[in-house]
Amino acid sequence: MDDRTTRRVLLGVTGGVAAYKAAELARALLRNNVEVRVAMTDAGTRFVTPATFQALTGRPVATDLWDAGFTSGMAHIELSRGVDAIVVAPASANFLAKLAHGLADDLLSTTCLARACPLLVAPAMNREMWDNPATQRNLALLRGDGVAILGPAAGDQACGEVGMGRLLEPEELLQAILDFLSPKRLAGRKVLVTAGPTFEAIDTVRGITNQSSGRMGYAIAAAAAAMGADVTLVSGPTSLPPPASAHFVYVTSAAEMLNAVNAHAGAADLFFSVAAVADYTPEAPAARKIKKSGEPLEIKLRPTVDILAQVARMPGGPFCVGFAAESENLAEYAQAKRRKKAIPMIVANLVQHTVGREENEVTIYDEAGAHALARAPKSRIARAIVEHAVALFEARGGAPRLATVKQAS
């Protein structure tokens, strides 16, 4: 893919109840500067009319292999030329079977077979259809052929059953597609991310922690990986699944997080310090469970090492991005923290806007001032944060190293 800012996608819609979600996906792609052309199978048109997609995209919907409206008379060739990817969402069990075996008996399947671009499919079907060995065999064939499979998810199904086979939500599909299409500006780069809370032991069972869910840090790690980076994610205790796209280091305490960061920071090009690391830790955790008594209990705390400040001071260290969660005076506290730690960029939010939530609303502070990002899912905010950091990093001379790496590969 080149450096064009506008991407082009052919959205294929096949015959499943979830076809209505493709309309929302088309809108979301358009809102994100992706040009969309839609092609539908005959069964797909039974669920949502082509008129809906034509109205949304402003372009006629292709349904007919023999459509004389294409200059060359070969819609199946013209449709996939000049697009960055074909995305089939929803992809029916039948359509996956046809793709896996190279069948070309309608416009969409013929276009997929004749494509000169990547293919992404988002399966959606009843759970028994999904579990059927034939479907699983077809998926294995498609994976082997380099087709990207998006989802499906588990949950309530239109047929009333519950299980695997739901189409991913339009927002999830959007993120996966944008990830796929995003220029690999971090190819050859190492990115280190910390995420989640830490847990500071008071005794063998109790400890001091905080309400950080880890979602923002995990989203930053995923966004950097989508931009081609080699990502290491150092995470405190969270309930999130380890991301497949990053090297994962699980830690508990602030001291363990410091050790893990020290082990990786030297090789990192960028460091995103997203974790809510404890500022204080019990000076002498008890070696056994503290027994209850009627007396007041005092726990002496000592300050922990400031991980971000330490990495920021490393000679030749990574480009550092800090995060500040405040409950008031956001701009003042965030800029003061950025200057004190001598870091080029800090992302600030109000705790009441972020902790434990799926969405976030942040402001980026750098030498140039404040850059507010509107409220959005954490995955979208993460992408904008990483893009901002990469732009600053490249402006400081990160780019030449990237060019060298590219030439060598």
Ligand X SMILES: Cc1cc2nc3c(=O)[nH]c(=O)nc-3n(C[C@H](O)[C@H](O)[C@H](O)COP(=O)(O)O)c2cc1C
Q: Which residues are annotated as catalytic?
A: 159
Task: Determine, following the binding rule CB under 6 A, whether residue 138 of this chain makes contact with ligand X.
Answer: no
Choose the stretch contacting ligand X; rule: CB under 6 A; options: 8-16, 280-288, 304-312, 401-409. 8-16
Give the binding-site size for ligand X (rule: CB under 6 A).
15
Q: Considering the complex, what minimum distance in angstroms separates the CB of residue 145 from ligand X?
A: 18
129 binds ligand X (CB under 6 A): yes
Interface mask toward ligand X for 38-57; x: CB under 6 A: ---x-xx-------------
Indicate the residue among 88 and 345 with the shorter CB distance to ligand X.
88
Which of 14, 194, 349, 379 contacts ligand X by CB under 6 A? 14
Cβ burial, residue 43 (10 Å; 0-12/13-18/19+): middle
Residue from 61, 93, 249, 254 binding ligand X (CB under 6 A): 93
Q: Which of 280, 319, 59, 50 has the alpha carbon at shortest distance from 189?
A: 319
Task: Dump strand ranges (E) for 114-152.
Answer: 119-123, 148-149
Specify the residue for token string 């669920």. 47
Is residue 17 a contact residue for ligand X (CB under 6 A)?
A: yes
Of the pair 93, 343, the CB lying nearest ligand X is at 93
Is the CB of residue 26 less than 8 Å from the CB of residue 36?
yes
By the rule CB under 6 A, 119 interacts with ligand X = no
**Residues 201 and 253 sit within 8 Å (Cβ to Cβ):** yes
Neighbours of 7 (CB within 10 A): 21
Say how far apart CA 47 and CA 18 lie, in whole Å: 8
The phi, psi pair for 227, rounded to 5°, reads: -90, 10
- Shortest distance, position 12 Cβ to ligand X, whole Å: 9
Output 170 or 196, the one with its CB closest to ligand X: 170
Radius of gyration of the chain measured on its C-alpha atoms: 25
Give me the least distance between CB of 239 and ligand X, in Å please. Answer: 30
Q: Residue 374 and residue 371: Cα distance in Å, rounded?
A: 10
The residues binding ligand X (CB under 6 A) are 14-18, 41, 43-44, 92-95, 124-125, 129
